[in-house]
């Protein structure tokens, strides 16, 4: 009489979460005639404590108690043949995950009573859970079954199924890639998001380290909380230079709109390595020696990831205009993804922002975002300026195939014009072809993107030797379809996004090209 929990499939119909048959054993204490013998028999059959069962049978005020869940069929059959009064069993379900740790933080897991505890199992529990059936008995006032009475059965209603936007093939490729960099760089963590740029359906979402959903470490709550947390949605970080995509998009759009404060794509920025703002000095990562970073246009500033140029843009556009773009790109607010616990990020209130804050926001400091926010913002800058609500589930359907509800893919707003997006994308293609993103380059395919290397802070101060290496890239540059954000937290040795994260994106894109048989564009 236990409802079968709804199944979870990837976008191709591959089963990611299903059920195996188990049995639950119940007892109605008032109907048990020999409680001591019954407790002894059940304890031996179920390998549980006699004292625990006896206490339930004698001390419980409930009309029905659960003796054990998820017992094997042979055990249930032994109990059925025992002739014990007041004891019965019902079919139960045990949740199984065919791919073990694949997308474990996304899928989440259930409790012993098959209720969603984390991840999509929790967020969509009201659809997945179904409704258990009931067995109704005629009893007297104290709950003793009437002689000759018949039981009435109310059938269970099975749960509905989920079809995800995840592609298990791309998820596996991304997990394998990130596992290699996690090991080779001795990093603290490795993460990746892959987005479908047509509607922000999430094709892959990787958080490493991970755990096996079929062997959840329930006896170590600290470890379980850490391993099951989807940091791509729930945690924040300073994005660093990947954020320059947003600053460049704002400048290009304002230039096209005729704002005299904006810089044209042909404008040549000052070659000085530093900018002084509110008494603070902001430096480029490069020493600008031997003519490095001289005579830079916006495209070249993106190639070189030169901070001072983006300081100039943010200050020239001004707080009002720049914050309009931050709002359009949905910074400081949740994306609306269908997942519990999403963070809105951290953004200095517009009324409190100083020039030195604005200057640093321009190149990805003094702002904290979730990786999902950053991925969506980058996507909305290069896909023609369309910001969709990111989503993990595309439809909810019953076992007969009837679609009960379609979800996700709604257009949430516009960021920049298609022309600004096109110009920006051509510049970001140059970053991969000629600049810091060259390790993501794939011969015959127009890959574009931006690297990032951000220092970490602890207790309000820079943590020496601790960096977040990242790369956000997409392809094809002239018709964006797939976007990947790669983040490697605290890699040892080389820590630049160009050498640690960009190669991972290139590897993931090669995998996508192979599984989808995408032909070269050139």
Whether pTM exceeds 0.85: yes
95 and 198 housed in the same domain = no
Is the same domain home to 356 and 443? yes
**In a shared domain, residues 116 and 221:** no
Q: Are strands 87-96 and 134-136 parallel, antiparallel or unpaired?
A: unpaired
Confidence check: pLDDT of 143 > 60: no
Which range is least confidently modeled, 86-100, 221-235, 439-453? 86-100
- One domain for residues 121 and 264: no
Q: Is position 522 within any domain? A: no
Does some domain include residue 1?
no
Structure tokens at 184: 């080779």
Shared domain check, 225 and 124: no
> Which of 117, 145, 164 marks a domain boundary?
164
How many Å from the N-terminal Cα to the C-terminal Cα in the chain?
60
Residues 297 and 367 grouped into a single domain: yes
Q: Decide if 521 is inside a domain.
A: no
Q: Are residues 160 and 208 in the same domain?
A: no
- Is a pLDDT exceeding 70 seen at residue 500? yes
Comparing C-alpha atoms, which of 246, 239, 245, 301 is closest to residue 270?
A: 301
Asked whether residue 2 is domain-assigned, the answer is no
- Under the banding of pLDDT at 50, 70 and 90, the label for residue 96 is very high
- Residue 520 included in any domain: no
CATH value at residue 33: 3.90.1310.10
- Do 201 and 133 lie in one domain? The reply is no
Looking at the domain assignment, is residue 442 inside a domain? yes
For residue 449, the SS3 value is: strand
Average pLDDT, integer, range 493-516: 97
94 and 138: one domain? Answer: yes
Q: Is residue 226 classed exposed, middle or buried when 0-12, 13-18 and 19+ CB atoms within 10 A define those classes?
A: middle
CA distances from 29 to 1, 194, 315 (A): 20, 54, 75
Query: Across-strand partners of 190?
Result: 208, 488
Position 65 in a domain:
no
The least confident of 44-53, 100-109, 228-237, 408-417 is 44-53
Q: What integer pLDDT is reported at residue 138 of this predicted model? A: 62
434 pLDDT above the threshold of 60: yes
Q: Of the residues 164, 194, 222, which one is the last residue of a structural domain?
A: 164
pLDDT digits (tens, 9 = 90+) for 280-308: 999 998 877 777 777 899 999 999 999 99
Number of domains in the chain: 2
Residues 153 and 199 in one domain: no
CATH, residue 203: 3.40.710.10
Q: Give the structural domain span for 79.
A: 8-60+70-164
Query: Which of 4, 24, 228, 241 is an active site residue?
Result: 241
Mean pLDDT of the chain: 91
Annotated active-site residue 241? The verdict is: yes
For the purposes of burial, counting CB atoms within 10 Å of the CB of 141, is it exposed (0-12), middle (13-18) or buried (19 or more)? Answer: exposed
Q: 152 and 204 share a domain? A: no
Pair 122, 192 in one domain? no
Q: Residue 87: its pLDDT value, please?
A: 83
pLDDT above 90 as % of the chain:
72
Q: What is the distance between the alpha carbons of residues 280 and 287, in angstroms, rounded to a whole number?
A: 18
**pLDDT tens sequence across 148-176:** 666 666 777 889 999 999 999 999 999 99
- Asked whether residue 473 is assigned to any structural domain, the reply reads yes
Which residue, of 164, 198, 216, is where some domain finishes? 164
């Amino acid at each position: 009489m236990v409802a079968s929990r709804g199944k979870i499939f990837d976008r191709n119909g591959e089963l990611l979460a299903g059920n195996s048959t188990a049995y639950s054993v119940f007892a109605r204490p008032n109907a048990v005639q020999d409680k001591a013998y019954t407790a002894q028999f059940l304890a031996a059959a179920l390998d549980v404590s006699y004292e625990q069962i006896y206490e339930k049978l004698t001390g419980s005020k409930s009309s029905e108690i659960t003796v054990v869940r998820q017992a094997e069929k042979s055990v249930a059959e032994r109990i059925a043949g025992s002739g014990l009064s007041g004891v019965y069993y019902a079919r139960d379900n045990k949740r199984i995950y065919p791919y073990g740790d694949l997308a474990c933080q996304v899928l989440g897991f259930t409790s012993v009573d098959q209720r969603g505890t984390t991840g999509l199992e929790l967020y969509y529990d009201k659809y997945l859970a179904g409704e258990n059936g009931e067995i109704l008995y005629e009893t007297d006032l104290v709950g003793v079954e009437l002689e000759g009475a018949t039981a009435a059965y109310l059938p269970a209603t099975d749960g509905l199924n989920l079809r995800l936007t995840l592609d298990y093939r791309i998820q596996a490729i991304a997990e394998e890639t990130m596992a290699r960099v996690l090991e080779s760089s001795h990093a603290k963590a490795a993460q990746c998001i892959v987005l479908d740029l047509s509607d922000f359906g999430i094709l892959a979402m990787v958080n490493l380290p991970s755990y096996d959903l079929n062997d959840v470490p329930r006896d170590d709550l600290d470890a379980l909380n850490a391993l099951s947390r989807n940091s791509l949605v729930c945690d924040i970080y300073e994005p660093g230079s990947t954020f320059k995509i947003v600053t460049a998009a704002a400048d290009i759009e304002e230039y096209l709109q005729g704002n005299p404060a904006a810089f044209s794509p042909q404008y040549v920025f000052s070659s000085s390595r530093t900018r002084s703002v509110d008494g603070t000095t902001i430096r480029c990562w490069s020493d600008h020696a031997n003519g490095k970073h001289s005579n830079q246009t916006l495209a070249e500033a993106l190639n070189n990831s030169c901070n001072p140029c983006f300081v100039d843009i943010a200050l020239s556009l001004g707080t009002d205009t720049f914050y309009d773009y931050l709002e359009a790109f949905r910074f400081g607010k949740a994306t609306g993804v269908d997942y519990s616990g999403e963070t809105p990020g951290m953004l200095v209130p517009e009324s409190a922002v100083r020039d030195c804050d604005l200057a640093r926001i321009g190149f990805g400091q003094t702002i904290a975002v979730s990786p999902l926010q950053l991925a969506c913002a980058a996507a909305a800058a290069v896909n023609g300026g369309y910001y969709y609500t990111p989503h993990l589930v595309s439809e909810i359907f019953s076992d007969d195939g009837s679609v009960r509800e379609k979800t996700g893919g709604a257009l949430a707003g516009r960021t920049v014009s298609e022309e600004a997006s096109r110009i920006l994308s051509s510049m970001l293609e140059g970053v991969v072809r000629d600049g810091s993103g060259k390790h993501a380059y794939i011969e015959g395919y127009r890959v574009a993107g931006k690297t990032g290397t951000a220092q970490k802070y602890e207790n309000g101060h820079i943590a020496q030797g601790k960096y977040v290496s990242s790369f956000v890239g997409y392809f094809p540059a002239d018709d964006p379809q797939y976007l990947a954000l790669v983040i490697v937290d605290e890699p040892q040795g080389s820590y630049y996004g160009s050498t640690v994260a960009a190669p991972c994106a290139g590897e993931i894109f090669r995998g996508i090209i192979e599984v989808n048989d995408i032909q070269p564009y050139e």
